């Protein structure tokens, strides 16, 4: 009976996932967009990344402790930027994608325009929905976070980070779009570099910000569909033509 119960539960989860994917495809198939169903990553204990901890120490006027071995630390090493994980990994920018895929099992989707379907929006904060988007020869990290910026008032923050340098990020423009029940909401901006830290982008509010009531307005049975499009920036395109 226990084996049957576990198998039956797995089958129900699979049916639910298929149903969510079918609904999203039905809505967005006319636009020819790929749909990716993203399950939440939930942590009861939010462990800030090292870049966030360093930023908090700097704002408080506290310098991080100095150790002798830090003098020979390779400045080109990038800490793990996966939200909600206190991951000690460090590596060069070129291997960040493989680390996120192999260690944190983050999916990657290819295409000029995709649909990011986040499930279980009702889960308590902090919760993250994460996916990598491969487009125009580069990889981007989309992070949707549910977080209480003020106690008792959770908000949703969505941002796109380029897995590259800030100079490379300036060459692109990303657009996030919510579209449901004859309502449309768009956010368009230049992606930030993964070197700048996801936590700082969210704390600065330089991203798409939704309060709970607005997120519910665009959600469907606890799932939120976000259309994503990435293009080269106009400045970059005009310079290429010259």
DSSP codes, 124-142: PSSEEEEEEEEETTEEEEE
Task: Identify the residue with better confidence: 15 or 95.
Answer: 95
Global confidence as pTM: 0.72
Pairing of strands 153-162, 208-211: antiparallel
The pLDDT value recorded for residue 200 is: 86
Instruction: Select 30-38+76-230's CATH number: 3.30.365.10, 2.60.210.10, 1.10.150.20, 1.10.8.100.
Output: 2.60.210.10
Element holding 180 (H helix, E strand): strand 172-180
Number of residues that this document lists for the chain: 242
User: Prior bond to 57 cis, omega within 30?
Assistant: no
Q: For 134-149, what is the mean pLDDT?
A: 92
Signed CA dihedral, 18, 209, 229, 165: sign only: negative
The pLDDT value recorded for residue 51 is: 55
């Amino acid at each position: 009976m226990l084996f049957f119960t576990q198998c039956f539960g797995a089958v129900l989860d699979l049916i639910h996932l298929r149903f969510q994917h079918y609904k999203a495809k039905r809505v967005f198939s006319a636009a020819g967009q790929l749909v990716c169903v993203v399950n939440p990553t939930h942590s009861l204990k939010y462990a800030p990344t090292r870049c966030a901890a360093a930023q908090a120490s700097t704002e408080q006027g506290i310098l991080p402790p100095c150790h002798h071995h830090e003098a020979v630390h390779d400045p080109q090493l990038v800490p793990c930027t996966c939200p909600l994980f206190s991951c000690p990994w460090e590596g060069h920018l070129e291997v960040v994608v493989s680390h996120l895929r192999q260690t944190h099992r983050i999916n990657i989707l290819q295409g000029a325009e995709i649909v990011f379907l986040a499930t279980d929006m009702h889960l308590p904060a902090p919760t993250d929905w994460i996916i990598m988007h491969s487009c125009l020869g580069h990889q981007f990290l989309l992070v949707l976070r549910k977080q209480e910026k003020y106690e008792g008032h959770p908000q949703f923050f969505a941002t796109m980070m380029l897995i590259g340098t800030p100079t490379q990020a300036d060459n692109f423009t990303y657009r996030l779009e919510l579209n449901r029940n004859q309502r449309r909401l768009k956010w368009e901006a230049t992606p930030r570099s993964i070197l700048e830290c996801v936590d700082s982008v969210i704390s600065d509010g330089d991203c798409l910000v939704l309060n709970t009531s607005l997120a519910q307005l665009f959600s469907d049975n606890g799932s939120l569909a976000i259309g994503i499009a990435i293009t080269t920036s106009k400045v970059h395109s005009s310079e290429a033509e010259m």
